[in-house]
Structure 1
Amino acid sequence: MGTGAASVLAGWRRRFHLWIDHGAGNDAVAAWIHRGLVLLICANVVAIVLESIPDLALRYGPSFKVFEAVSLVVFTLEYGVRLWSAPEHARYRGLTPARARLAYATSLPAVIDLLATLPLAFAMLGLSDLRALLLLRLLRFFKLGRYSPGMASLAAALHAERKALFACFVVLMGVMLMAASLMHLVEHEAQPDKLGTIPDAMWWAIITLTTVGYGDVFPITAAGKAVAAVTAVLGLVMLALPVGIVATAFAQEIHRREFVVTWSMIASVPLFGQLDAVEIAEVMQFLRARTVKAGAVVAHAGDPLQALYFVASGEVEIAVASGKARLDEGHFFGALTLDDVAIVSHSPCVTAATATEPTKLLVLDQIDFRALTARSPKLAAHIRAKAHR
């Protein structure tokens, strides 16, 4: 393949990656693709549920099959495009295309995508009537996690607190065994058919501890009612404990993600390089988010830069005296003024900037910078000393 053709192919691969996987900024194509896939996933889940109703399956069976076939083709194409464009993913850019695709194929989202397309392979082999395929089709629901940052944060929170949650499970099992043993001890003579053994009593204990309370098994003796009352109260505690752990971890994960990403970008600026965490947190309070489309001008040529720009996602092409350069996620550019001294935060000085793709920026403008230095004299003194050096 010639150099020109390879360059064109790489450009299309980059574009498809931005459309189907990146989704930054206000890119209309990416937005429509993501919305379409989300709607298709939801429609598939609804169709699987409705297809289990005999009357609907008999009346609309052919329509369900056509919809399933179309969905399988779309999901297979999606998986193929994601696999093909994997070398453009930021996580795999340091790898060769083959190793990047292999690394992506073994990731959890890719495995879910692959399993969701397996019914098509089984159908081609004439095995489309297997009941086990229903579970593979339902896996498509978990594809929604790719389009929801909240679900990704929840998964990270569960992973971070896995030891605490496992400890809660162990405690729950211990309390269940204790409650079941006590209930068996006091009720086995009165109700030998329902609570005559500890395994029988374990069913009552777990239902009571989880506050479900089916009512199919209940104590009839005074001692049994006392055990049931204590078990019910313990059930409230056992239910609240993991809920509190997950809620706290989820809130911390969201805050941590926002803080770490922004903190790392601010700390990379030489002007703020020696600030401690408290001072960087003060700078973060004055940042404003800005989303620009591909081709949008961030800074016009000839206009003095009076703001500091952090590239949160996307890419910006800057013009400098020696030519042009491209800055992607994590980089910064711009200029601020303190005591009538220009502080250039990119060397050489940037004369113009244009977004080459949908981009999210964090901006610290001159007005907010003055408010920041006025609010924190210590921070202002540090920046002033850094600037004069």
Structure 2
Amino acid sequence: MKALETLICQLIDEQALSRSTLVYRVFDALLVLVGIGSAVAATQPDLPPFVAAGCLYAIAAIWGWFVLDYLARVWVAPANRDLKDRTLWQIRLEWIQSRNGVIDLGSVLPLAVGLVFAAWTPSGAPLLAVFWISRFARYTTGLDMLWRVLARERQPVLGVFLIFVLVMLLAAVLAYHTERLVQPERFGSLSMALWWAVTTLTTTGYGDSVPTTPFGRLLAGFVMICGITVFGLLAGILATGFSNELRRRDFLRNWDLVAQVPFLHDVGPGTIADLANMLRPREVPARTVLARRGQPGDCMYFIVQGEVEALVKPKPHLMGPGQFFGEIALLTGGPRTATVVTITQCRLLVLDIADFRAIAASRPELLEVIQGEADRRLGIGGLAQPKETLHE
């Protein structure tokens, strides 16, 4: 039982980059796509009956797998967690109420509820398989980021929405008074005029309601321009909000990662802040080649977690958290001096050559630290380290 629990934990770990975890993610994604595709295909009227039945069986089988997946996640939720005076079921309840727990429940519960109110036919409960697309939200923070952006930009977004509503109501009232006598079947009520205002303001223009009077057409042109302006303004606000949120998230994440590198502890908060803006985190699975001997060096790496191996003579050199490599090619302008391969799954921070040169010019104290380590590796810094054991 313990071995099975460990295997399940390895497969469903959202942070892991092991081969088995990646394979399971791909398998889960394929099940989602096949299930939604089957729900869409089953509604085709000219589909042979046996194919439609096969689609329904596929949806049922996939749903059953997702139910088992959800129950397994609930069961192993206490694994690798400190109980802290909590029972196993209290931890499981916490997971059920967590973000991922709600996402997984949202992918299995709608179809179960649908069976109560609809039959298992192509136009019934199986259509709720479209909710399975929510499973992809487990591997992305896009929805969380959208919520934070809307929360931070709520004032300007609300202002744009109020402008939209004001223009829509004003246009509907004016169109109603202008067109109702000419086109009573199209503008005979304010609700009809509101429909025209919405389709025109959003620049959709279904064409079912079109002003015919000169003032009505002039009004329609004004509403179209207002619609473009309003939605352009909204797009700009959201784009700026997303950009700021991404920058804020990357800065905080990089700061935490940079702070874990021991040799950077003494360079000062200003230098760490500059590095946090420049460094790019990278998750790398085991047995990945990061640098090849003889190739040009375009970046250097800081190891936050995991181990890498520099294939040098007389024997390979291992490096772990807190160390860095790739700096010598950037300092000398020469090619890589060794091939570097990850031994385990690694979390790295990557510093591009352009950013390296920029921060070397603005933060000489950081350059001194990197230069000192490079000299030590080259055997110049007074340490007895043979040159052939140089790693990069």
Choose the corresponding residue for 1:309, options 299, 303, 306: 303
Choose the corresponding residue for 1:281, options 269, 274, 283: 274
Q: Secondary structure at the match of 1:219?
A: coil
TM-score, length of structure 2 as denominator length: 0.69
Could you list the per-position Cα deviations for residues 267-307 of structure 1 after superposition, in whole angstroms to 9, with x for gaps in the alignment? 4557437733565223663677462429x9xxxxxxxxx98
Q: CA deviation at 1:48?
A: 0.9
Equivalenced residues, count: 329
One-letter code of the match for 1:175?
A: V
One-letter code of the match for 1:333?
A: G
Q: Secondary structure at the match of 2:303?
A: strand
Q: Secondary structure at the match of 1:129?
A: coil
Structure 2: state its 5+ residue gaps. 290-299, 308-319, 326-341, 372-392
Q: Does 1:333 align with 2:327?
A: no
How far apart are the structure 1 equivalents of 2:357 and 2:216? 71
Could you list the per-position Cα deviations for residues 73-92 of structure 1 after superposition, in whole angstroms to 9, with x for gaps in the alignment? 211121112222323488x9
Look up the match of 1:181.
173
Look up the match of 1:147.
139
Look up the match of 2:346.
359
Structure 1 residues 247 and 202: alpha-carbon distance in aligned structure 2, compared to 1, 3 A threshold: same
Matches for 1:66-215 after TM superposition, within 5 Å: 66-88=57-79, 96-118=87-109, 121=112, 128-129=119-120, 133-134=125-126, 136-150=128-142, 153-154=145-146, 156-158=148-150, 160-215=152-207
Identity %: 29
Look up the match of 1:22.
14
One-letter code of the match for 2:278?
A: Q
> Is the 2:203–2:227 contact (alpha carbons within 8 Å) kept by the matching residues of 1?
yes
TM-score, length of structure 1 as denominator length: 0.69
Q: CA deviation at 1:72?
A: 1.4
Choose the corresponding residue for 2:43, options 43, 49, 52: 52
Q: Does 1:222 align with 2:222?
A: no
Structure 1: state its 5+ residue gaps. 1-7, 297-305, 317-330, 337-353, 385-389
Q: Secondary structure at the match of 1:22?
A: coil
> Is the 2:301–2:348 contact (alpha carbons within 8 Å) kept by the matching residues of 1?
no
Tell me how large the CA RMSD over aligned residues is. 4.1
Q: Secondary structure at the match of 2:322?
A: strand
Q: CA deviation at 1:375?
A: 4.8
Q: CA deviation at 1:382?
A: 10
Choose the corresponding residue for 1:251, options 243, 246, 256: 243
How far apart are the structure 2 equivalents of 1:335 and 1:55? 62
Structure 1 residues 72 and 185: alpha-carbon distance in aligned structure 2, compared to 1, 3 A threshold: same
Structure 1 residues 170 and 99: alpha-carbon distance in aligned structure 2, compared to 1, 3 A threshold: farther
One-letter code of the match for 2:322?
A: F
One-letter code of the match for 1:276?
A: P
Structure 1 residues 225 and 30: alpha-carbon distance in aligned structure 2, compared to 1, 3 A threshold: same
How far apart are the structure 2 equivalents of 1:182 and 1:370? 62
> Is the 2:59–2:129 contact (alpha carbons within 8 Å) kept by the matching residues of 1?
no
> Is the 2:104–2:135 contact (alpha carbons within 8 Å) kept by the matching residues of 1?
yes
Structure 1 residues 119 and 67: alpha-carbon distance in aligned structure 2, compared to 1, 3 A threshold: farther
The 10-residue stretch of structure 1 (153-162 or 254-263) with the greater mean CA deviation from structure 2: 153-162
How far apart are the structure 2 equivalents of 1:126 and 1:187? 45
